[in-house]
Amino acid sequence: MLAIRNLSVAFPGPEGPVRVVDDVSVEVGRGESLGIVGESGSGKSMLSLATIGLLPKSARTSGGILLEGRNILTMGEKELCGLRGRRIGMIFQEPMTALNPAMTAGQQIAEGIRLHHGTGRAEARAEALRLLDRVRIPDPARRIDSYPHEMSGGQRQRVGIAIALALKPDLLIADEPTTALDVTVQKEILDILDELVADLGLSLILISHDLGVIARSTDRTLVMCRGRAVEDGPTEAVLRNPTAQYTRDLIAALPRRARAGLGEPGLGEEARLAAGGTP
């Protein structure tokens, strides 16, 4: 449904253009979740901004981003506006800065619905309530009238997801959606994303620096390093049998615990085996 073909993004720099995304090609099918993993400066966020047409004005692009055959890179601002929200929903890293502090959760979710579909106030509010329930906010009837600062980080991120879902997009892009959150909250948020992909048949692009998150929530993985795609394939294959040295280095840098599932015994298992326990 989304195909990125030979995408390059460059910015003018003092010593000539700097390529932040360099000849990347990748596809996401309907109902499929794609993980993009890389360290800071790998270009993974620029790739996602390009996909919703939100690159800074000074960016120069080549190649194509095809959403069901139509190239996003050549679309005008008006066309892009129809695309954002309606076709592609975006979930940001820091829900506190992505939400408007002066509006309640319900108002922010309803805003897009009323704007795009012209539905009435009451109807939009009912839809907002349904969406809050969908992202499993505890006590949605009360939370709908809460302001962002009255909510926890996890609740704000749920509101962020509800906003992204409001216009029933086919594709969700989540850029480090759980990086600012505690692990227990991270788990809940990832569970919700998994569920949306499974129940609504959404496609998901999940951008993360955390291989554990990628392993948990994606079908396919693209590994990026300095703007280049170094490896891509089914997540399990990429992480179990990486072909690129860079991917191997990334996995090797993981703490033992996070690496534990790869078969080689972690230190913990060794100790247990030594103590005569069962692994």
Partner 1 sequence: MTALLEIENLTRDYALRGKGGAARSLRAVDDVSLDVEAGSIVAVVGESGCGKSTLARIVMALDRPTGGTVRLGGDDLFALTPKALARKRRDFQMVFQDPYGSLNPRHSVGRIVAEPLHLLDDAPRGRERAALVARALEDVGLPGSAAERFPHEFSGGQRQRIAIARALITHPKLLVADEAVSALDLSIQAQILRLILSLRDRHGLTVLFITHNLGVVDEIADRVGVMQAGRLVETGPVREVLDHPREDYTRTLLAAEPTLAVLGQRRRRA
DSSP character for 84? B
Measured CA to CA, the distance from residue 22 to residue 10 in angstroms comes to 8
Minimum distance between the CB of residue 41 and partner 1, rounded to whole angstroms?
Answer: 9
Q: Residue 210, interface with partner 1 (CB under 8 A)?
A: yes
On whether the CB atoms of residues 177 and 89 are closer than 8 A, the answer is no
Q: Given candidates 54, 81, 271, 273, which one binds partner 1 under the rule CB under 8 A? A: 271
Distance of alpha carbon 60 from the chain centroid: 23
Answer for which of 215, 222, 224, 229 binds partner 1 (CB under 8 A) is 215
Task: Tell me how far the alpha carbon of residue 96 is from its chain's centroid.
Answer: 17
Applying CB under 8 A, among 13, 15, 40, 118 the residue interacting with partner 1 is 40
Q: Should residue 212 be labelled a site residue for partner 1 when binding is judged by CB under 8 A?
A: yes
User: Judged by CB under 8 A, which of 216, 220, 230, 242 binds partner 1?
Assistant: 216
43 vs 50: CA distance, rounded Å? 11
Stretch that binds partner 1, among 53-61, 74-82, 155-163, 186-194 (CB under 8 A): 186-194
Q: Exposed, middle or buried, 171 (CB in 10 Å: 0-12/13-18/19+)?
A: buried
Computed from CA positions of residues 102, 205, 115, 112, in that sequence, does the dihedral angle turn out positive or negative? negative
Closest approach of Cβ 83 to partner 1, in Å?
A: 28
Q: Is residue 187 part of the contact set for partner 1 (CB under 8 A)?
A: yes
Contact 57, 89 (CB under 8 A): no
Rounded-to-10 torsion of CA 134, 108, 29, 40 = -110
Report d(CA 265, CA 255) in Å as an integer: 13
**With respect to partner 1, which residue has the nearer C-beta, 141 or 198?**
198
In the shown chain, the binding pattern of residues 119 to 158 toward partner 1, with x for contact by CB under 8 A and - for none, equals ----------------------------------x-----
Interface region with partner 1, contact rule CB under 8 A, candidates 84-92, 101-109, 169-177, 255-263: 255-263
Residue nearer to partner 1 on the CB measure, 141 or 237: 237
Write down the least CB distance from residue 187 to partner 1, Å: 4
Contact in structure between 271 and 259 (CB atoms under 8 Å): no
Q: How far is the C-alpha of 43 from the C-alpha of 37, rounded, in Å?
A: 10
Residue 265: phi and psi, rounded to 5, are -70, 135
Q: How far is the CB of 137 from partner 1 (least distance, A)?
A: 19
Is 190 a binder of partner 1 (CB under 8 A)? yes
207 near partner 1 (CB under 8 A): no
Which stretches of the chain bind partner 1, using CB under 8 A?
Answer: 39-40, 153, 182-184, 186-187, 190, 198, 209-213, 215-217, 219, 235-236, 239-240, 249-262, 267-268, 271-272
